[in-house]
Amino acid sequence: MPELPEVEVVRAGLAPAVTGALVVGVTVLDERALTRHTGGGSDFESRLTGRVVSAAARRGKFLWLPLRSDADGTPSEEAVIGHLGMSGQMLLRAPGAPAERHERVRIDLAHPTHGELSVVFADQRTFGSLAIDDLIATPDGAPGGHGWGEASVPAQVAHIARDPLDPAFSDSGFRRALARKDSAIKRVLLDQTVVSGVGNIYADESLWAARIHPETPARALPTRAVNRLLGEVRHVLDKALAEGGTSFDAQYVNVNGQAGYFAHSLNAYGRTGEPCPRCGRPIVRVSFTNRSSHFCAHCQRVPRPGVDEPSTAHD
């Protein structure tokens, strides 16, 4: 599933192409792409056509395009919200371009600078979705997400926590949340109501970098270990962003259909049996809910409560 870096790459690619553009037409080819929308395909098409896109925004793994009724600066009160699910793609295409394989929705735009173009939502496995949703005020009064300066967020995204790269993310709030959690630290990292944007790949990579076993109880981590983990999460996400995200197959691509190459930089995820880049011992893989955890059993040991803390020393 696309995580923060992959979704942010898509958002950044959409932003210059859609900001200020007029929606001149919408075609819903498959209503399974509208599972989060309260109306059907005709409602989605009619409500979106004629609107002006204010920006391309993101919080965690959710994207949204704030909408105005016209181009005179009227504040946006609604947005098209998108979630890529397992295999969703948001592609920029020339007007009249042939239909994409697994195309579900096409939004035709007229941009004051770039002219006509189309945003195509394609989704092989149909777990992704689009919807028109109300924008509501953020509780902390800070901008709702990346690429969006207004203190509002789609109602369907309001329960999603800020991500570690958000300027309004609270480090102290994150530490307090972990101190209350008996759950394994990896499970907490994947809880989008605690911290957003981190999925299985980047959780494994961050925990490897911080030398923390994924099954360590969150509340057992000392403050300096939590701080180290948060720093590694940010470092891993930043590096993945710089490399265009992680692509293992053709399902994740940017708006131009290009794959990311962070997969070549992975230290733990997907490297079962390969030598740990730090100590040379094999990376192990264990079942974790419906997924897997990848880690080094030597570098990432479960600490004994009140005795051990994950070491920062090199072997």
Q: Indicate the length of the chain as a whole number.
A: 315
Q: Which domains does the chain have, with CATH numbers?
A: 4-157 (3.20.190.10), 171-296 (1.10.8.50)
pLDDT for position 76: 84
CB atoms within 10 A of CB 92: 20
Q: How far is CA 131 from the centre of its chain?
A: 17
pLDDT for position 218: 97
Under 8 Å CB-to-CB from 252, ≥6 apart: which residues?
2, 6, 87, 89, 245, 246, 259, 260
pLDDT for position 310: 45
Question: Catalytic annotation on 61?
Answer: yes
First to last CA, the chain: 34
Q: Does the annotation list 186 as a binding residue?
A: no
pLDDT for position 305: 57
Question: Catalytic annotation on 282?
Answer: no
pLDDT for position 261: 45
pLDDT for position 289: 79
pLDDT for position 276: 98
Q: Does the annotation list 102 as a binding residue?
A: yes
Total-model pTM: 0.89
Residue type, 146: H
Question: Catalytic annotation on 285?
Answer: no
Q: Does the annotation list 239 as a binding residue?
A: no
3-state secondary structure the chain: CCCHHHHHHHHHHHHHHHCCCEEEEEEECCHHHHCCCCCCHHHHHHHHCCCEECCCEEECCEEEEEEECCCCCCCCCEEEEEECCCCEEEEEECCCCCCCCCEEEEEEEEECCCEEEEEEEEECCCCCEEEEEEEEECCCCCCCEECECCCEEEHHHCCCCCCCCCCCCCHHHHHHHHHCCCCEHHHHHCCCCCCCCCCHHHHHHHHHHHCCCCCCEHHHCCHHHHHHHHHHHHHHHHHHHHCCCCCCCCCCCCCCCCCCCHHHHCCCCCCCCCECCCCCCEEEEEEECCEEEEEECCCCCCCCCCCCCCCCCCC
Rounded CA separation 267/278 (Å): 9
> What b-and-e string marks burial along 267-304, b requiring 16 or more CB atoms within 10 Å of the CB?
bbbbbeeeebebeeeebbbeebeeeebbbbeebbbbbe
CB atoms within 10 A of CB 4: 28
Residue type, 308: D
pLDDT (tens, 9 = 90+) of the chain, 315 residues, equals: 678 888 998 999 999 999 999 999 999 999 999 999 999 999 999 999 999 999 999 999 999 999 998 766 677 899 999 999 988 999 999 988 999 999 999 999 999 999 999 999 999 999 999 999 999 999 999 999 999 999 999 999 999 999 999 999 999 999 999 999 999 999 999 999 999 999 999 999 999 999 999 999 999 999 999 999 999 999 999 998 888 766 444 455 556 666 554 666 789 998 999 999 999 999 999 998 788 999 999 999 976 655 544 444 333
Q: 36, 47, 234, 291: which one is catalytic?
A: 291
Question: Catalytic annotation on 232?
Answer: no
Q: 11, 51, 58, 61: which one is catalytic?
A: 61
Rounded CA separation 151/127 (Å): 29
